[in-house]
């Protein structure tokens, strides 16, 4: 068994859709990034790649490569699942936390879990997605950005 930890953060800006866990969240701000900037999916990808010793998201899907400009992050997650399978790994579980002052994410968490489990081809019971605020502190509390953490367990 191997454990992986992932983290990602992106700046909130006007004029972009807010994508989290492959779900478009109604909000007046979106996340800035080379892809759709889905911090949750990016943290999951980094956790999985790290657990399998397959590098990180930047090494596998560099933001210097135009083919990833604007890409939907669930496509990157699907490719990550294929990399793990090719290396002989199976996902046991993933636990995540999204850090965001606003919008309130609780209503969207079940759909995010469904998207992630479907994309990875694992049972929905293997995926847990939570959200929290930082009580107005820091860059997430001031709505300057959002962050996400992910931890995973994989096995051969």
Q: Which domains does the chain have, with CATH numbers?
A: 2-155 (3.30.1330.50)
The confidence score (pLDDT) of residue 8 equals 98
Q: Which two tokens stand for residue 10?
A: 């992106």
Tens place of pLDDT per residue across the chain (156 aa): 999 999 999 999 999 999 999 999 999 999 999 999 999 999 999 999 999 999 999 999 988 988 899 899 999 999 999 999 999 999 999 999 999 999 999 999 999 999 999 999 999 999 999 999 999 999 999 999 999 999 999 999
Exposure string for 115-146, b = 16+ CB within 10 A, e = fewer: bbbebbebeeebbbbebeeeeeeebbeebebb
pTM of the full structure: 0.96
Residue 27's pLDDT is what? 97
**pLDDT of 115:** 97
The confidence score (pLDDT) of residue 126 equals: 97
pLDDT for 113: 98
The per-residue pLDDT for 88 is 98
So what's the pLDDT on residue 131?
98
Do 16 and 30 form a contact (C-beta atoms < 8 A)? Answer: yes
The maximal CA–CA distance of the chain, rounded, in angstroms, is 43
pLDDT recorded at residue 47? 98
């Amino acid at each position: 068994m191997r454990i992986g930890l992932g983290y990602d953060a992106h700046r909130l800006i006007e004029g972009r859709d807010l994508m989290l866990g492959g779900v478009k969240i109604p909000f007046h701000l979106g996340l800035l990034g080379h892809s759709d900037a889905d911090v949750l999916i990016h943290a999951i990808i980094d956790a999985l790649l790290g657990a399998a010793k397959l590098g990180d998201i930047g090494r596998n899907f560099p933001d210097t490569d135009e083919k990833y400009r604007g890409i939907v992050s669930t496509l990157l997650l699907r490719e990550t699942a294929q990399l793990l399978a090719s290396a002989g790994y199976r996902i046991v579980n993933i636990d995540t936390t999204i850090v965001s002052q606003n919008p309130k994410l609780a209503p969207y968490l079940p759909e995010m879990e469904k998207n992630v489990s479907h994309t990875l081809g694992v049972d929905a019971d293997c995926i847990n997605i939570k959200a929290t605020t930082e009580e107005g502190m820091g860059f997430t509390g001031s709505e300057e950005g959002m962050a996400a953490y992910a931890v995973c367990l994989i096995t051969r």
